[in-house]
Amino acid sequence: MFDSGIGGLSVLKALRAAMPHEDFIYIADSGHAPYGERDEAHVLARSRAIVQHLVRHNVKALVIACNTATAAAIHLLRDEHPTLALVGVEPALKPAVALSQTGRIGVMATRSTLASAKFQALLAAQSGGAKDVRFIVQPCDGLAHAIETSADSGDMARVAALCAQHTGAMGQFGMQAGQIDTLVLGCTHYPFASEHLRALVGPQVHLIDNGQAIARQTQRLLRPSLECGLNGSVGAGQVRLFTTGQPPTLQAAALRWLELAAGVGVLGADNSCSIYRET
């Protein structure tokens, strides 16, 4: 699995909980992040390079643990790797529609995800139902990057300020008519800011991320080969972490949010994604 950085660890957490005996390789492309404020060509090129690298590891499934990369690349990656079990993430609009009582749903995501054709099609599909639903979409510039830096320093001040700025721009949250009662976290980094978001929107508003849904989908796809390595052996639940950026950031994030003490390998910065070493 991969993400532009540490955000996909929120998906890894759900995958490990659902499939504790599977082995995981996680790549944080922090050296080329944030994706959400870069053009689609950059995100596509990075996704291709990382997928090529992971495919060489003979993975039995590949999870794009990044909404931005999924929006930019999954359709092309499916064409290029037709036999690969590929799972992507997208903002959980459908579950939000099912949950919302007021019909006012906030969506926080990167600028690039929100501008993508994939997201626009999803938005159109979910807006046209029987319920009177309105989506309030908010490009959260800077938030993924702030979460990334907070992992290392532990200083959440910038994250808290950006959460306040972005939720403030969306309108009033609450359970009354006209208020936003459901907030979709459409970037895999944002669950790591959920304490701050919860404090801002109040205790009753639904916060939705799709880590668990992705875990279920991956499980469904893998059912025939679950807990079974290529040679038929049961996996040990091993996690290997790699980054194209600074190892201490990924190491600190894994420890802080997943209680996972693991070494971090460095993926070569030569774009070939072929060189790495354990630190």
Q: Between 97 and 143, whose beta carbon lies closer to ligand DGL?
A: 143
Q: Between 38 and 104, whose beta carbon lies closer to ligand DGL?
A: 38
9, 66, 122, 180: residue in contact with ligand DGL (rule CB under 6 A):
66
Measured from each CB, the residue nearest to ligand DGL is 36
Q: Is 68 in the site for ligand DGL (CB under 6 A)?
A: yes
* Min dist. Cβ of residue 58 to ligand DGL (A): 26
Render 173-217 in DSSP notation, one character per residue: BSSSTTSB-EEEE-STTGGGGHHHHHHHH-SSSEEE--HHHHHHH
Active site residue 187: yes
Separation between Cα atoms, residue 49 and residue 109, nearest integer Å: 24
Separation between Cα atoms, residue 208 and residue 106, nearest integer Å: 10
* Min dist. Cβ of residue 189 to ligand DGL (A): 5
* Min dist. Cβ of residue 4 to ligand DGL (A): 3
Closest CA to 140 of 173, 183, 177: 183
* Min dist. Cβ of residue 8 to ligand DGL (A): 6
Q: Is 218 in the site for ligand DGL (CB under 6 A)?
A: no
Applying the rule CB under 6 A, the residues between 31 and 60 that interact with ligand DGL are 33-36
116, 138, 150, 188: residue in contact with ligand DGL (rule CB under 6 A):
188
Amino acid at 157: A
Three-class SS of residue 145? helix
Of 140, 163, 187, 273, catalytic = 187
Q: Between 16 and 38, whose beta carbon lies closer to ligand DGL?
A: 38
Active site residue 140: no
Question: Residue-wise over 243-268: b if at least 16 C-beta within 10 A, else e?
Answer: bbbbbebbbbbbebbbebeeebbbbe
Q: Between 12 and 102, whose beta carbon lies closer to ligand DGL?
A: 12
Of 66, 140, 163, 273, catalytic = 66
* Min dist. Cβ of residue 89 to ligand DGL (A): 7
Separation between Cα atoms, residue 209 and residue 54, nearest integer Å: 25
Q: Is 187 in the site for ligand DGL (CB under 6 A)?
A: yes
Q: How many residues bind ligand DGL (CB under 6 A)?
A: 17
Tokens of 219: 């499980």
Instruction: Read off the DSSP letter of residue 156.
Output: -
Q: Is 253 in the site for ligand DGL (CB under 6 A)?
A: no
Separation between Cα atoms, residue 227 and residue 50, nearest integer Å: 24
Separation between Cα atoms, residue 90 and residue 106, nearest integer Å: 15
Residue positions annotated with a catalytic role = 66, 187
